[in-house]
Amino acid sequence: MRSTEAYNACRRRFLGALATAAALPWSFPAAAADAVGTRPIPSTGERLPVIGLGSWITFNVGNDRVARDECAAVIRAFFDAGGRVIDSSPMYGSSQDVIGYGLAKLERPVPVFAADKVWIAAASRGPAQIEESRRHWNVARFDLLQVHNLLAWETHLPMLFSMKSNGRLRYVGITTSEGRRHRDVEQIMRNHPLDFVQVTYNPVDRDVEARILPLARERGIAVIVNRPFQQGALTDALARRPLPGWAADIGCMSWAQCVLKFIVSHPAVTCVIPATTRVAHVRENVAAALGTMPGEALRRRMAADIARL
Amino acid sequence: MSEWWTYRLSSFLLFSPRTYLRLHERYNVDVWPAQLVALVIGVALLVILLRGPPKAARIVAFALAACWAFVAWAWHVMHYAAINWAATYFAAAFALQALLLLWVGVVRGALAFGSASPTTAIVGNGLVAWGLIGLPILNALFGQGIAQADFFGTGADSTVAATLGVLLLATGRRWPLWPIPLAWCAITGAFAAMMRLPAAPVMPLVALVVVLAAVFESRRRHRAA
């Protein structure tokens, strides 16, 4: 969620350029669908687009039909641009139901990678919650289920591994956000055969660089990154500043793209899941998977510059 | 849940300001003309508080209980719960407050009015008036528009503000009626602050004013006794 006037002005400049590009034969949407950047899930080698779609706050619109249709348009644009991974949680209010609504409105089958979570203290009620989530999404099964914020992980995790071994689930993971319980996350990563770990990471929240991201590479665990824009606070703050010179070197036309490229260029990161309510934003986000990625030296400079701003 | 302490307050903001305000707008359409009926009831309460006989306290308590029960069901359960799972807990608290108002104010007849000091009377009646017309006007002034406003009897904040005004004016064993309205002031203020709504400080300020006035009134009565 990004809302300041300056940021919208930046968006308008980007969208103007996008409109110009769309008039050319190699217009963005078609090219993105073919060439969107992907990364392999270490445990299977299956490739996933590096830009996913989060649903925290943005898709929790209740029964508001207008807002639901706007979310459905975002989902459609996401798949049109080549996206696959959508992430949600029973914690996010009506978001799961809105995702199901958006998927049902698509006229054609889409290769959605359905990632959800189990989030309930009473461990015995985990399976029922998962089934309710599945009904909201209206999918045959989830691709990935994660223990949300490690809540009751000791009992949920064996249940998820059991679902996986029975063919009712493809991947198992855990999540945390905003730096919570990183020591516990590390311990679980070391002691359990996780497929995924989900953490907060962006140019100013870099705690995971020290231990969790290296550990994920060492253990062959895919990494999903949440809250890339700090719930809009980061991009709102950056919107007041002009784009630095290095942005053009890596093909970024907005701060949002700079942040996303910084994140997905980390070798341990598999996918980032920015959330948005706007079609233009989702196209811009997915476009960040294209073109030149920053090398290690530029990544250090990006982090330093953004932290200074 | 043993991990509550690991969450930040912002973790529980699950919706955008736009979604919240649009929900208010649809709610106001759905329950119309309940706002008008509640306003008439509210004005009648204010007249009773200013001029009514002490025995009218039961009517005041009953009317407030009805408003709290309506907000619990119509707002928290039927509307707010669609975007905030915590609304079911809020509904339970509002329903409990309705029962407490019935028990303390109607069944036991433990509330009485008419003995507040002039200063306390001004603050108490002012808060009731604030709940009736002040908050809706403030919503309009702060850009939310009257269509998205919180009205007495149907909206949580206005009902709470008016109730706190009534409690300030009352005498008797009314302490069970204080915690839920005061807690709501903190909760709604926190949510509004997280959404960066301009009116975010209003309800916490209402609570602060009420607590200070209640302490002042209590000391005055203690000295008089």
> How high is the mean pLDDT of chain B?
91
Mean pLDDT, residues A49-72 taken together = 96
Q: Do B6 and A181 touch (CB under 8 A)?
A: yes
Mean pLDDT, residues B194-208 taken together = 93
pLDDT tens, B24-47? 999 999 999 999 999 999 999 999
B1, B23, B85: residue with CB nearest A151: B1
Highest mean pLDDT, choosing among A19-28, B51-60, B78-87: B78-87
CB A277 within 8 A of CB A1: yes
B4: nearest CA in chain A? A151
B115 contact A CB<8A: no
B82 contact A CB<8A: yes
Q: Do B16 and A180 touch (CB under 8 A)?
A: no
Q: Do B14 and A61 touch (CB under 8 A)?
A: no
Confidence tier at A309 by pLDDT (50, 70, 90):
confident
pLDDT tens, B97-108? 999 999 999 999
Confidence tier at B168 by pLDDT (50, 70, 90):
very high
A60, A66, A151: residue with CB nearest B14: A60
Take residue A222 and report the two structure tokens written for it: 């895919």
B194 contact A CB<8A: no
* Whole-number pLDDT of residue B3: 62
Q: How far apart are CA B168 and CA B171, in angstroms?
A: 8
pLDDT tens, B69-118? 999 999 999 999 999 999 999 999 999 999 999 999 999 988 888 888 88
pLDDT beyond 50 at B208: yes
* Whole-number pLDDT of residue B5: 65
Q: How far apart are CA A171 and CA A231, in angstroms?
A: 27
A123-153 burial, b for 16+ CB within 10 Å, e for fewer?
beebbebbeebbebbebeebbbbbbbbbbbb
Task: Please work out, in degrees rounded to the nearest 5, the angle formed at the alpha carbon of residue B104 by the alpha carbons of B101 and B108.
Answer: 135
pLDDT tens, A199-235? 999 999 999 999 999 999 999 999 999 999 998 889 9
* Whole-number pLDDT of residue A3: 42
Q: With contacts defined as CB-CB under 8 Å, which chain B residues touch A97?
A: none
* Whole-number pLDDT of residue B173: 79
B20: nearest CA in chain A? A61
pLDDT tens, B2-30? 566 666 777 778 999 999 999 999 999 99
Provide CB contacts within 8 A for A272, sequence distance 6+.
A50, A51, A52, A201, A224, A225, A226, A228, A260, A263, A264
* ω into B201 cis (within 30 of 0): no
Confidence tier at B55 by pLDDT (50, 70, 90):
confident
A279 contact B CB<8A: no
pLDDT beyond 80 at B174: yes
pLDDT tens, A234-286? 999 998 899 999 999 999 999 999 999 999 999 999 999 999 999 999 999 99
Confidence tier at A20 by pLDDT (50, 70, 90):
very low
Q: How far apart are CA A274 and CA A57, in angstroms?
A: 11
pLDDT tens, A138-189? 999 999 999 999 999 999 999 999 999 999 999 999 999 877 889 999 999 9
Q: How far apart are CA A39 and CA A268, in angstroms?
A: 10
B225 contact A CB<8A: no
pLDDT beyond 90 at A308: no
Complex-level ipTM: 0.86
A237 contact B CB<8A: no
DSSP 3-state of A150: helix
Q: Do B11 and A178 touch (CB under 8 A)?
A: yes
Domain boundaries, chain B: 14-224
> How high is the mean pLDDT of chain A?
88
The residue with greater pLDDT, A205 or A10, is A205
* Whole-number pLDDT of residue A24: 35
Mean pLDDT, residues A117-135 taken together = 95
CB A196 within 8 A of CB A146: yes
pLDDT beyond 90 at A297: yes
* Whole-number pLDDT of residue B6: 65
pLDDT beyond 70 at A21: no
Q: With contacts defined as CB-CB under 8 Å, which chain A residues touch B8?
A: 178
Q: With contacts defined as CB-CB under 8 Å, which chain B residues touch A64?
A: 19, 22-23, 26
pLDDT beyond 50 at A31: no
* Whole-number pLDDT of residue A5: 41
The residue with greater pLDDT, B111 or B164, is B164
| Lowest pLDDT segment from A210-214, B50-54, B159-163 | B50-54
Residue-range domains of chain A with CATH: 44-230+264-308 (3.20.20.100)
